[in-house]
Amino acid sequence: MNDESPCIPAHVAIIMDGNGRWATQRGLPRFEGHRRGVEALRRTIIAAEEAGIRYLTVYSFSSENWRRPLPEIAELMGLLRRFIQHDLATLHARNVRIRVIGVQDGLSPDIIALLDDAEKLTAHNTGLTFIVAFNYGSRREMIDAVRDLADEVRLGRLSPADITEELFSDRLDTRGIPDPDLVVRTSGEQRLSNFLLWQASYSELVFSPVLWPDFDRNALVAAIEEFRQRDRRFGGTPSAVGGVL
Ligand code: IPE
Ligand code: IPE
Ligand code: MG
């Protein structure tokens, strides 16, 4: 460990999980957990800026979350709508650049417009890049990329032999965004749930027991601290002896 190096992950991606359990533990409706989850998100964006993180991705609604009861889906949509309406001006004033990943299928036109406007308004900001994974699923994202490439091959613009990892990455929603260094999942669950499967190939995974509505600066700092203890090898040898032999 080199304690002098700050070793701050450039890109942190968070699976914000545990809202329902947080509420149930308190005898509250699940919606209350989601509502408090938005507060945790606001705290986390500020904490990420202060920690010097350059890219923060949050998993807000997965392509599998459509399996939830309709009233809960409506609540989650409403929370996103209100979050953008309420926080966009503040985020823009703080120089945050917003990117949205995921598909538009199934989303109401007003939500699509809000997300588009947020991206356009903040496109040239140079502070934290805040990536919202909404109606996102990694498998669908990869299938869409494969379809794009297949089309280019069919049109004779691309040869299969020229398909590289870079070219494929460039067809994903995350094009231009570096892979996450750290993926954090809250609530103690230890799975990726169809989140950034390609991009997280070499991410460090940290599983925090904290339920998302309780997540705060301390929890983020703890996750970064755990990240700093890791020896990222990318298939090489341990860094202490690497490159010697
Ligand atoms: C995360 O909390 C929010 C979303 C998935 C949208 P959950 O709603 O999954 O909470 P638990 O996992 O049921 O506690
Ligand atoms: C993952 O959480 C999706 C989001 C946090 C948006 P889920 O709670 O939906 O995941 P599973 O169903 O427990 O895998
Ligand atoms: Mg969950």
Closest CA to 207 of 219, 195, 190, 193: 190
Ligand 1 centre to CA of 146 (Å) is 30
Instruction: Label residue 240 by pLDDT band (50, 70, 90).
Output: low
- The residue assigned the tokens 């991206």 is 119
Q: Any idea which ligand is nearest the CA of 20?
A: 1
For residue 243, with 0-12 CB atoms within 10 Å meaning exposed, 13-18 middle and 19 or more buried, which class applies?
A: exposed
Ligand nearest, relative to CA of residue 15: 2
Read off the pTM. Answer: 0.95
- Per-residue pLDDT of 174-208, as tens digits, reads 999 999 999 999 999 999 999 999 999 999 999 99
* Structural domain includes residue 167: no
CATH number (domain holding residue 77): 3.40.1180.10
Residue 187 · residue 18 · CB < 8 Å: yes
Per-residue pLDDT tens over the stretch 121-157 = 999 999 999 999 999 999 999 999 999 999 999 999 9
**Residue 165 within a domain:** no
Which residue, 80, 73, 89, is CA-closest to 30? 73
The residue whose two tokens read 């799975």 is: 191
Residue 245 pLDDT more than 50?
no
Q: Where in the sequence is the domain holding 49, given as residue range(s)?
A: 11-137+179-228
CB atoms within 10 A of CB 221: 13
Minimum CA distance residue for ligand 1 atom 13 = 20
Q: Is residue 183 a part of any domain in this protein?
A: yes
CA 43 to ligand 3 center in whole angstroms: 20
Residue 2 has pLDDT above 50, yes or no: no
Contact 77, 111 (CB under 8 A): yes
In a domain, 237, yes or no: no
Residue 107 in contact with ligand 1 by CB distance below 6 A: no
105 assigned to some structural domain: yes
- The pLDDT value given to residue 3: 45
Q: Which of 1-5, 121-125, 153-157, 166-170 has the lowest mean pLDDT?
A: 1-5
Q: Please state, for a pLDDT cut of 90, what percent of the chain lies above it.
A: 94
The reply to whether 171 falls in a domain is no
Question: What pLDDT score does 4 carry?
Answer: 42
Rounded Cα distance, 99 and 119, in Å: 6
Phi, psi of 205 (to 5 degrees): -105, 130
User: What pLDDT sits at residue 174?
Assistant: 98
Pinpoint the alpha helices (H) of 94-192.
Answer: 109-122, 138-154, 165-169
At residue 6, the pLDDT reads: 59
What residues contact residue 8 under an 8 Å CB cut-off, 6+ apart?
51, 52, 53, 224
Give residue 239's pLDDT band: very low, low, confident or very high (50, 70, 90). Answer: confident
Does 61 contact ligand 1 (Cβ within 6 A)? Answer: yes
Mean pLDDT value across the chain: 95
How many independent structural domains does the chain possess?
1
Which ligand 1 atom minimizes the distance to the CA of 16? 1
Evaluated on CA atoms 97, 175, 13, 23, the torsion sign reads: positive
241, pLDDT greater than 70: no
Residues with Cβ within 8 Å of 160's Cβ and at least 6 positions away in sequence, in order, are 153
Is residue 98 within 8 A of residue 173, CB to CB? The reply is no
Residue at 34 is within a domain: yes
Q: Which residues line ligand 2 (CB under 6 A)?
A: 15-17, 59-62, 65, 189, 191, 193
pLDDT digits (tens, 9 = 90+) for 17-29: 999 999 999 999 9
Predicted confidence (pLDDT) at residue 60 exceeds the cutoff of 50: yes
- Asked, for residue 155, whether it belongs to a domain, the answer is no
Whether residue 1 is predicted with pLDDT greater than 60 in this model: the reply is no
pLDDT in tens, 62-120: 999 999 999 999 999 999 999 999 999 999 999 999 999 999 999 999 999 999 999 99
Place of tokens 């409706």: 29
